[in-house]
Each structure stands twice: as C-alpha cells, then as structure tokens.
Structure 1
Amino acid sequence: MILLSFTSGEIGKRKDQINPILSTIIDNNKIPGIVAAISSSKGLLFSSASGIRRFNNPDPMKTDDLVHLGSCTKAMTSTLLAILITEGKLNWESTLIEALPELKDLIHPNYELATLRKLVTHRSGMPANANNWWDHSDERDIKVRRLKILKDSLATEPATKVGDYLYSNLGYMVAGCMAEKVTGKSWETLIQEKLFQPLGMNTASFGPPGTPGQSDQPWGHLESDIGWEASQLDNSEPLGPAGRVHCSLADWAKFLALQLPNSNPIIQNQQQLDQLIEPVGNYAAGWGVYQDNRVKGTVLTHDGSNTMWYARVWVAPNIDRAYMVVMNAAFKNNNKSATICEQVINELIKIDQEQ
C-alpha cells in the first residue's frame, strides 16, 4: 500500500522506524551524519536526520540542513538544457561545432559532431574528466575558464568511440559551455533563473554549503588513515554542470517532482520531459533508468559524490514517490558508500509501503 500523503501520526510512526536505522548505520560505519527523506509530487512527505554536522563538533545534523548533491546535479543540468530547447535556443541534435563554431580546428575532429544528446547520455567519446580541472584559475570569467579547459581537454583523440558509453563529467561541462554560448550567461546564472527560481528552490546554490569556517551547515568529510577529516572543499568551479549543486532535501524534492505525476510544469512541453528520461542503454539525461517491481516499474536513479559527500536518489513515477539519502562523508571505497545509501533507500521503500 502506498499512501498519497502522510498524516502527522503516520509521519511520527515512520520517523520512529527510520531514526534507529540511521543511528545504527552511523554507529556501525562511524560516519558523521546522514539525512533521508520521502517525497511526492506534492513535496516532502517526511525526513529524518541523525549524527553531526562536523566531526568532533556537537552540532547535530538537521532535516532542513543543506546537502551536497554531487553528480545528482547532472539531471538538473539536463533539465536546464530541455528548457533552452523549448525556447528554441538548442536542440538535442545540436552539435558542439554548431554551438561553438570557433572551436573548429582547435579540437579533435571526432568531437566536432558530438551532439547535446550524446553529451548528456555519456556517449560523446569524451574522457571522464578534464586534463586538469584546476587550470586557468586566474581567469575570472567562469565561461571563459570553461572554454579554455574544453580546448585543452579535447585537443587529442576521444577516450572511446563516439556512441560508446563512458561516464564523463567533462561531457556535462561541455554541454554547459554550449548553453553558455547560445545565451551569453553562465551555467550558474541560467540554472538559477530558469530552474531554481521558478521551482522556489531558494536554498539551491553551488559548492560546499554553509559559511566558511563555521558549522552553520554540515561539512563534508574525507576518509583518511587517521579517520574522518572535515572539509569545506569541493570540486573545481568549472565542473559545476556535472556536480556542484547543494540545497535542502525539501528543495531537492521540488526538482524531483518534475518527473512525478501532477507536478508543477515549468516545462510545458511533455515531449521534452519525456526525452529527459528516455535511456540509451540504461542511462538517460542525468538518470540511470531501471525497473523494480517494488515501485511498480520504472526507477530513475543517480548517485553523487565529490569525495566528501555521498548522495543517492530514487524517483518512482508510477507510485508518485522519490526517496533521498545523503551522507556528509564518503569512503575511499565508493562501493561502501553506495551500499550504505542503498540500504537506506531499501528501508525507506519498505517503510513507505507499510500500512
């Protein structure tokens, strides 16, 4: 049984069920903190938090804290691109050279016909990452800096055959460059204006959450030989379109609702919404696409990590649900972080389906 909404009593019951599970995960794995939530097309249904914001600091993790989404940003970038497509500024078959003709003869010719669709489905042939994400750090204009990194990284032959799958953060940055060129605005400005503000995602921003040096928001944590090291570092700014968004769980739920029935249609063109979740293999535009009987069919899922945070989301359109979990830490072994998050998602589904 799936309830369309929870009464206050049902929320309390579910918190009573998930809270000890989160506490046990923290105790067993010695992680600082974790948050989890269930949402629907109407918004957040309930959320839970356990642990602390910062290792060796007593401030507790809270359900309205801001969390780093890592590569779960990719679905947001793809949605931004769909909005630009509905405005006639791009289309899914737009090539890199069509958007940026000045790159002709500056990048390897095999990249010239890489389309927007191939970029967001990781089939452009581009390597996983830039040659050096931290290059050109003296360049104040982020749009110019991204273009310089693009030119440096695409001068040599593709990492794999165009059309074959290779997960690529660089590809998402390049897609961001295409959006920047056709609009004249940075990816950061575009996604705020066209996605976050229309959805009322007031907490959404970029980089590590919180005030530098303070514990007003959770810190990320790196696993080291001596334990967890709290950190407010993040990926390089040019990587933004691939993985630098942070926000609250409630605001994340507003974005996830775009792929749930009866949600706020900031994209009026249903065909464009459908294109975002049309997979090539098992990967669509920022979403892994799978089938699971527990949620009556299609699951849209993604993990995200900047090596200091770890997030996982499941969106189940057929039952009007999204399930979220974020740890403010990431193990060196990504599989360990993924296993913990998978355990929480499984528990959320189980609790959600109980009468």
Structure 2
Amino acid sequence: MNRRSWLKFSLAALASPGAALARTQPAPRLEDVLEPLRAKHGLPALAGAIVRKGQIVAASAVGARLLNSDRKVTVNDRFHLGSDTKAMTATLGGMAVEAGKLRWDSTIGDVLGAKVTGIDPKLAAVTLEQLLSHTGGIPSDTDEILNLYFTGDAFKSDLPTQRLRLLNAWKNHAPATKPGAEFHYANLGYVIAGAMIETALGVSWEELMINRIFTPLRLSTAGIGPQATTGKYDAPIGYQIGDDGAATPVPWAAPADVPPALGPAGAAHMSVVDFASWAGWNAGGGKRGPALVKPETLERIHRAHVSTGKLANPRPGTPQEGEYALGWGLVKFDWTPTAVLTHNGSNSMNFAKILVDRDKDLGVVVLTNFPEKQAEAAASEAQETLYKRYSS
C-alpha cells in the first residue's frame, strides 16, 4: 500500500481550567495484554492507555521503534494519529462558531467564495456541519481526488493556499448526493472545512491546533506531520506494505506522511499518554477544563448526525453499521452497554484507535507504527480487552 490509499476509515470507526489531566504511574502489567498481541501480529510496537474520570490509570508501550531492532519504545514516544485528528478539527470548528466567526450552517460559498471563484452553486451551498459529518456529498477518495492530493504542486506554497488550491481543483463538481442526506467518508471535505475554519479565524489550521488544542491541554508531545525527527529514530517509525507483503520502514520527511495540506483530515501525532489525555477531556464532556469549547458545543460535536448505513463487507474489526457525529463515529459494540464515541486513523503507515465512553467517563486508546489488517486486528483486540478490564 502507498500513500495514495492513505486513509481507509473504519468505524471501530483536567482537574481545573488550564490544567492537564492528572497522570499516574503506568499499570505494571498492562504490557501483559499488549506484548502478546504485538508478537502475534508481527508489529514493531504497540501502545495503549486508559483514562477514567480524568485520571490516566494505565499506560504502556511494548516493542521497538523499528522491526527487529533494540530501539525500545516508551510511553512518551510519538505515534501518528491519522484520521483521529478529525475530531480535533471539528473542535476547532466549534471554537470558530462560539467566536461568532462561523455558523454551523455557514457554507463553502459564504466563507471561501471570494477566494475561490466559480464554485459550483450546489457545492458552494454545502455547510460546515455537513462537511464535518461527511454528509456534504463529496465522495470518498477517488482516483481523481487522489490525483489532486499527489501532484507536483502538493508541496508548493503555504498550507492555507494549498487547501484553497484543492478546492479550486474540485470546484466544478456538484455534490454526488443531496447534502445532509447520506454518509460518504470524505477526506477532501475535511480539508475544505479546515480551509473554512482558518479563513474565518485568520490563522492557519496548524497554528490553531497548536495554540488552541495542544497547548491548553498540555499535550507536550503533540505535533503535526511525520512523528520522527528527520535524521533521528526518536519515535516509532511507520511502515509501508508492498504488493508482495514486504514491510518497508518510512522514517522521515515528506514520504513519511500524507501531503501536509491534508492536515485537517489526519496529520497529528502524539504519545499514547497525551492521546489518552485528549480522550479523557472528551469523556468528561469538556467540563473539567480547560474550556476549549462550551459543554453544549462539545455535545453537538459528539451527537450523531447521520447513519453510516450498513456495510456489506466490512473490514476486519469494523462494525457493519453505526452513526457519525462530527469527527467521531458512534458505535454500539457487542462488548459495550451503549453506543460509544470511536474512530480509527491511518496514514497507510501507522494505525490509531480511540474509544470514549461518556457514560462511564472512560477513554481507551491504542497505537501502533504498522498499517493494515495486522495493525487493526491487534488494536481492536487490545481495545476490547482494555475496555472490559477498566470499565467496571
């Protein structure tokens, strides 16, 4: 698999304002769950963490930053989140709405029409909320859309301009289905939503992520783009899987992630502990602080907006049906008493999984630096096991 198939979504998918989630020492035997799964599925590394009532009650990372190496991972190592970034983009959208710079029903044409002229009228009428719920009628990544991402211009100019370039290239396409009616998982829709947010607030999506989410939540390991520093093996390295099944490490720079303009759709990275902090903030409804958005705004972000429909041939670990909120799936698993917030993320080289049970004020996150079925199978089993162990 290469980066052109970078994201195949599957629905699996603070004590006081300004304070980080409280952290405890990692549970001593959490690795007894993770290590057998890592070995069974041939993963380089596997990390997991549980947050309950604002406290990280267990966190561990097993394996190595590279396959068959002695570069051991730690709970502070950065992993790529892929599309689990989408919930953060939706939260930035909520901030723009609360600031009076956008409305949930602000349209592409309202916000971006002066910068990108000649947008198809039906596409121009698609709203921010429809983009964030994947109901804007923009299709899932087609060959035509992938060709827009991976062009010779993909690394030219600043990133807000790059996102406008993508909209300009797509502007003659009317929505494939009636906006607001059907679910079609659309990375391009999130790129356009990111462009709307940064245009309305006058600050790039990247700056907003750092200043409005990473910093207030004290996610000290969080960043955007490839997780390893160029020239260093200071994080778990992602892998590409060839047609022959061979795994090739992709350590640094542009080849190690999707084109950077796609950031709003999935380009954040952070440690498993910081990822659990993000899960815990959501599990508490944002009421423990910091006050990124009002609880009622977060409730709207978490609320189901559309049924995903029934999937005829779901991928391993993917439920046949569920609902989608804004950057979150809502799924009732066989092993959860009610529907929970959940999402998977992958840039085709790494795999991330998050679950948030708001009723129990509980979050479970699992991360690995490997893609595809092996990664999803291990992460799904780990998440189920950890949820069962810590939810009672």
Matched, 1:202 2:202: no
Matched, 1:47 2:85: no
Residues 294/265 of structure 1: CA separation in 2 closer, same or farther (3 Å cut): farther
Equivalent positions of 1:144-155 (< 5 A) are: 144-155=161-172
Counterpart contact for 1:55–1:229, Cα < 8 Å = no
Matched, 1:243 2:266: yes
- Aligned residue identity for 1:245: A
CA distance in 1, matches of 2:115, 2:96: 21
- Aligned residue identity for 2:246: G
Equivalent positions of 1:48-197 (< 5 A) are: 48-102=60-114, 106-129=118-141, 130=145, 131-135=147-151, 136-137=153-154, 139-163=156-180, 164-197=182-215
Residues 228/292 of structure 1: CA separation in 2 closer, same or farther (3 Å cut): closer
- Aligned residue identity for 2:94: A
CA distance in 1, matches of 2:117, 2:171: 11
- Per-residue CA shift, 1:99-118, capped at 9, x if unaligned? 11226752222211100110
CA distance in 1, matches of 2:113, 2:366: 41
CA distance in 2, matches of 1:85, 1:6: 32
Residues 155/103 of structure 1: CA separation in 2 closer, same or farther (3 Å cut): farther
Q: Which runs of 4+ in 1 moved over 6 A?
A: 5-8
Counterpart contact for 2:188–2:265, Cα < 8 Å = yes
Q: Measure how far apart 1:278 and its partner are.
A: 1.1
Counterpart contact for 1:206–1:244, Cα < 8 Å = yes
Give the TM-score taking structure 2 as reference length. Answer: 0.82
Would you tell me which structure has more helix in proportion to its own residues? 1
Counterpart residue number, 1:33: 45
Counterpart residue number, 2:15: none
Residues 115/6 of structure 1: CA separation in 2 closer, same or farther (3 Å cut): closer
Matched, 1:252 2:272: no
CA distance in 2, matches of 1:6, 1:320: 15
Counterpart residue number, 1:277: 302
CA distance in 1, matches of 2:107, 2:127: 4
Counterpart residue number, 2:312: none
Q: Report sequence identity in percent.
A: 31
Counterpart contact for 1:309–1:327, Cα < 8 Å = yes
- Per-residue CA shift, 1:139-169, capped at 9, x if unaligned? 3211111101111023223333323210001
Counterpart contact for 2:38–2:378, Cα < 8 Å = no
Give the 3-state SS of the residue equivalent to 1:313 in structure 2: strand
More relative contact order, 1 or 2 (CA 8 Å, 6+ apart): 2
Q: Measure how far apart 1:177 and its partner are.
A: 0.4
Residues 268/171 of structure 1: CA separation in 2 closer, same or farther (3 Å cut): closer
CA distance in 1, matches of 2:293, 2:82: 27
Counterpart contact for 1:123–1:166, Cα < 8 Å = yes
Give the 3-state SS of the residue equivalent to 1:302 in structure 2: strand
Counterpart contact for 1:53–1:60, Cα < 8 Å = yes
Q: Measure how far apart 1:296 and its partner are.
A: 4.4
Give the 3-state SS of the residue equivalent to 1:146 in structure 2: helix
Flag structure 1 segments of 5+ consecutive residues without an equivalent. Answer: none
Residue number among 213, 228, 251 corresponding to 2:247 in the alignment: 228
